[in-house]
Amino acid sequence: MRATTIHAPYDMRVEDVPEPVVQLPTDAVVRVLRACICGSDLWAYRGEAARQPGQRIGHEFLGVVEETGSEVSTVRRGDLVVAPFMWSDGVCDYCREGLTTSCEHGGFWGSVGYDGGQGEAVRVPFADGTLVQLPKDAASDDHLLSALLTLSDVLGTGHHAALGAGARPGATVAVVGDGAVGLCAVLAAKRLGAERIIALGRHEVRTDIARRFGATDVVAERGDAAVEAVRELTRGQGAHAVVEAVGTEQSMRTAVNITRDGGAIGFVGVPHGSGTGLDLGVMFDRNIALRGGVAPVRAYIPDLLPDVLDGTIDPSPVFDMTVDIEGVPGGYKAMDERTALKVLVTGDR
């Protein structure tokens, strides 16, 4: 089959690789119908996260079950399924508590020896714990498929950020980061009842999506000017709930400074750089909490799925470019150059 591989920074290839097969009784093989490129894939693309030459990549996909191991009981051949960005066994302490990202047997797509989502098919470990069934008729609805694909990462991650920040009815939420996760956090905050949602971003295409997702205000300024602008919008107090969806020191510093006393930062931007951007003295004086991390999206899918299926929320506008598998390297280039927000990859139909 064809699959995306990474050989060096900026060297993405689509190559012939062995067809995946069931290796363990808990495995399934899924033929990929839709996948996408994540902002966090760019860290590997740019060489800021190390990869071995030839390693697979891609951690967001949905598709059709092709084969299952003898112990798999919740999905079967022909089922339409979505995979979260990590696999998990579904039975350990952490999985039972909903923290599937801490699963004792969990792992990441594209790890050495494992398939990635940006390929024609994927061997899925712990299929019962990992995969979630979708209605079969969704397979013929392009728009709905795009929306459902966000359950694999960005929608659940935005939801995790909004929960961590404490988005709730009546609250003012501010979102730092105008990438797909930040935009999904706007959508999630709206869904959780936030009264006012301030999106920080300067790219009009993105802030337009933010408004469509529920943002009531947009702040285009950065740094100190952004802090001042948010404070002006909030009677000088700051936002009750702040989402940090970038992962840089600067964005975290902004997040701390726009949080209202007693509020919280929900952080889901993968931390980069040596410093944290956290001023612990300020957080102490003002009782600002920090909650978040890698999102246990598997645990959120049952909660979010019905709202996506019935159209209550439609995250599909985060995709603004579509490629087939051979076009994946071009998709990386577009996202790296910020000419695309998020790239959809259509698989074998």
> Nearer to a second copy by C-beta: 7 or 291?
291
Q: How far apart are CA 2 and CA 138, in angstroms?
A: 25
> Nearer to a second copy by C-beta: 163 or 343?
163
Taking a C-beta distance cutoff of 8 angstroms, is the pair 344, 180 a contact? no
Taking a C-beta distance cutoff of 8 angstroms, is the pair 225, 217 a contact? no
Residue 129 Cβ, how far from a second copy at the closest point, in Å?
Answer: 16
> Nearer to a second copy by C-beta: 25 or 98?
98
Residue 156 Cβ, how far from a second copy at the closest point, in Å?
Answer: 13
- Contacts to a second copy by CB under 8 A: 93-94, 97, 99, 101-102, 164, 237, 261-262, 264, 267, 270-271, 276, 278, 280-281, 283-294, 296
Taking a C-beta distance cutoff of 8 angstroms, is the pair 169, 195 a contact? yes
Residue 281 Cβ, how far from a second copy at the closest point, in Å?
Answer: 5
What is the dihedral sign for C-alpha 293, 271, 268, 31? negative
Report the SS3 class of residue 246. Answer: coil
Taking a C-beta distance cutoff of 8 angstroms, is the pair 3, 35 a contact? no
Residue 286 Cβ, how far from a second copy at the closest point, in Å?
Answer: 6
> Nearer to a second copy by C-beta: 207 or 234?
234
> Nearer to a second copy by C-beta: 173 or 328?
173
What is the dihedral sign for C-alpha 260, 261, 266, 267? positive
> Nearer to a second copy by C-beta: 1 or 270?
270
| Per-residue burial over 241-259, b = 16 or more CB atoms within 10 Å of its CB, e = otherwise | bbbbbbbbbebbbbbbbbb
Treating both helix axes as pointing N-terminal to C-terminal, what angle do 180-191 and 154-165 enclose, rounded to 10 degrees?
Answer: 60
Residue 181 Cβ, how far from a second copy at the closest point, in Å?
Answer: 13
Residue 7 Cβ, how far from a second copy at the closest point, in Å?
Answer: 26
Among 183, 185, 174, which Cα is nearest to 239's? 174
Among 62, 60, 295, which Cα is nearest to 188's? 295
> Nearer to a second copy by C-beta: 24 or 280?
280
The partner residues of 34 in beta bridges, in order of sequence, read 62, 346
Residue type at 265 in one-letter notation: I
Residue 68 Cβ, how far from a second copy at the closest point, in Å?
Answer: 29
Residue 295 Cβ, how far from a second copy at the closest point, in Å?
Answer: 9
Cβ atoms within 10 Å of 113's Cβ, excluding its own: 9
| Direct distance between the N- and C-terminal alpha carbons of the chain, in angstroms, rounded to an integer | 14
> Nearer to a second copy by C-beta: 127 or 268?
268
